[in-house]
Amino acid sequence: MKQLALEFLRVTQTAAIAALPWVGRGRKHEADEAATAAMRRVLRQIQMDGVVVIGEGEMDEAPMLYIGEKTGTGQGPQIDIAVDPLEGTNLVAGGQNNSTAVIAAAPRGALLHAPDMYMEKLAAGAGAGGVIDIGLPVADNVLRVAAALGKPLREMTVSVQSRERHQAAIDAIRETGAKVRLFDDGDVTCAIAAAMEESGIDLFYGIGGAPEGVISAVAVKCLGGDMQARLLPASEAEHERCLRMGLSDPCGRLTLQDMVASDECVFAATGITPGPLLSGIAHASGGRLLTHSLLTSGPSGVHFIRSMHAGSMAG
């Protein structure tokens, strides 16, 4: 997996650059299509037997990078791929911050094949490993993490997506004395931030897409953090779908190991517009482009990488 890490970095860099011309143009579908086509093209060049387990949707919904699509050359290690070629399509369309291109990968069978439904998520850094509990109220988790980190509650910061469904949780967090840092979109990078001490985020909480939750879990695991989740099927049909995917208890607790069953995993992300972890793509002299990426591979640590690219790559 480590040998493939730089290949996956090239995948997110290429997808991010492909989305760049669409920043601020109000055309999210075109932006997503550009990033997806670019990511697919590079993935097919990698020496691996890859399968997309989390992607752009089912085969009849997505023409590219659909769930079950084979990728890579077909030779080499057997790899499960989870992708979000453009996390934050609305952010790119509106020229807003925190859009990224992301990919996660692990050996075949190691990633939870999360259905496209809501998932409740909780993530923290290494200092709070084994402390968080998705079965407890969010306020209790704030208290637990604060105790584990040895921080006064007034210095605790919890990252929560700015959505009406989170208002009760936001109120409960603030009642503990902790601060809430709201974000609009891009919950993958915000969940990852909770696993990084220098981010200033101590805990991440939210209800969002399950596929994004698994992608986040790969990065959190590589960073030595902790994460728990539980699926929230909204109908009998969604409940049955979970059962068909092998989840005997669709609403049960999912640990980090349940979501990512191998330490041999890779996560890469490249910023498109500026965010809490990554700078956006910048223009340099000679028409070149400067990208800022995050790359993690197993327990080897986190690498922030700045790369210069020929401007023609954006075409």
Q: Could you tell me what percent of the chain has a pLDDT over 90? A: 78
pLDDT score recorded for residue 115:
78
**Between 252 and 289, where is the model more confident?**
289
**Between 8 and 298, where is the model more confident?**
8
d(CA 122, CA 129): 12
Q: pLDDT at residue 238 above 90?
A: no
**Between 202 and 58, where is the model more confident?**
202
pLDDT score recorded for residue 311:
67
Residue linked to tokens 């807003």:
96
Q: Could you tell me what percent of the chain has a pLDDT over 70? A: 97
This prediction has a pTM of 0.91
Indicate the average pLDDT of the chain: 92
Q: How many CB atoms lie within 10 A of CB 167?
A: 11
pLDDT score recorded for residue 198:
85
**Between 63 and 90, where is the model more confident?**
90
pLDDT score recorded for residue 2:
78
Task: Give the model confidence (pLDDT) of 126-146 as tens digits.
Answer: 999 899 999 999 999 999 999
**Between 249 and 159, where is the model more confident?**
159
